[in-house]
Amino acid sequence: MRRLPRLAGIVAAIGAAAAVTIGGVAASAAAAPPPPTGGPVQPNIVGGHAPSLQYPAGAFAALIYDAPAHEIKDHFTCTTAQLNGRFFTIAAHCVTDPPPSLSVEAKAALMRYYGLDATSAAVPTADKKFRVRVGSPDRTAGGTVVGVSVFYVHPGWSWGQGPESDDIALLKSDEYLNTYALPIAPRKPRPGDTVRTLGWGGTEPVFKGELPTQIQELTRKVIPAKNCVDAGITTRDICLDNPGGYSGDCNGDSGGPSVVEQDGVLYNAGPTSRGGSAICGATPDVSTSAAEFAKELNDAMRGNPPVLAHGVPVR
């Protein structure tokens, strides 16, 4: 997912002549930057590839919903990751609605800028019956399908209205899943660390509504936070590079894990959140740091009221 994170800038851009709508998704009218001369054009995550590691079965899952009142069935919306036998991490923007004070047009534009498709933008979260498909690299077949509910959304999440982002939430499955999961990383990845993002998101710089059925992986580096200032990064986020200047997350990758290896173990460093451009892969991406939110998430899963903290915007 690659979309502007701050509400004021998003709403101001709605009527800008420099924006066009392609396949129901707002995108810059400027031409997307091509890959470097001689470089391969890879029809994946945007510059990604099939997974290079043997991931746990619960490392990635497809978030799907039905909305009977809207005659919608089996609609894929975001990527998620299993945290343990009952819970999944997800980006908060995947399972919440934009502020009710906004106009219908502004809400739709805001959802698009956060990388959600036009169908999801038009359907209130309360009308969606969510489920996940876990244990399969194919988002349309195989694995185990189980119903999930939105269990916890970080109270600091505000669709870009405030200085914090806190774009993280938990889904709870209807039944216990005996699947090898991807636990939260013990520490926030540091600049120079290798991270692999996973998702079923769009594969073209300008999203046209087409999604891969097979999970995609992009290997990248953590870079200093100053490179993600345009994406509204905070101290509780991770800034990830865009390899080659054209590779990155896109619509549908939201919520997917950023996988890091620490002490020989694979962990989920946090869900894919946002970027600084309407062109997928044009700028670095931001993932929410799960390690920074570990106490709040664990408190929520145990039924204890979380002690809240917020990230400080990086200038």
**What CATH number should be reported for the domain holding residue 93?**
2.40.10
Task: Kindly calculate the radius of gyration of the chain based on its CA atoms and give it in whole angstroms.
Answer: 18
Position 162 scores a pLDDT of 64
User: Does 17 map to a domain?
Assistant: no
Question: Is residue 67 domain-shared with residue 132, that is, in the same domain?
Answer: yes
Question: Is residue 68 domain-shared with residue 157, that is, in the same domain?
Answer: yes
Q: Residues 151-166: what's their mean pLDDT?
A: 82
Residue 30 has pLDDT above 70, yes or no: no
Listed range (228-232, 257-261, 291-295, 298-302) with the worst mean pLDDT: 228-232
Position 45 scores a pLDDT of 55
Listed range (19-23, 54-58, 208-212) with the worst mean pLDDT: 19-23
User: Does 306 map to a domain?
Assistant: no
Distance CA 304, CA 289 (A): 21
Question: Is residue 126 domain-shared with residue 67, that is, in the same domain?
Answer: yes
User: Does 92 map to a domain?
Assistant: yes
Residue 165 has pLDDT above 90, yes or no: no
Position 60 scores a pLDDT of 97
Position 312 scores a pLDDT of 58
Alpha helical stretches, state H, 38-173: 104-113, 118-122
State how many domains the chain has: 2
User: Does 314 map to a domain?
Assistant: no
Distance CA 286, CA 2 (A): 9
Residue 130 has pLDDT above 90, yes or no: yes
pLDDT in tens, 34-76: 333 232 222 335 656 678 889 999 999 999 999 999 999 999 9
Residue 211 has pLDDT above 80, yes or no: yes
Residue 80 has pLDDT above 90, yes or no: yes
User: Does 147 map to a domain?
Assistant: yes
Phi, psi dihedrals of residue 216, rounded to the nearest 5°: -120, 155
Helix, strand, coil shares of the chain as percentages rounded to 5?
Answer: 15, 30, 55
Residue 31 has pLDDT above 50, yes or no: no
Range of the domain at 187: 42-51+182-291
pLDDT in tens, 225-239: 999 998 889 999 999
User: Does 249 map to a domain?
Assistant: yes
Residue 297: how many other CB atoms lie within 10 Å: 20
User: Does 16 map to a domain?
Assistant: no
Residue, of 1 and 275, whose pLDDT is higher: 275
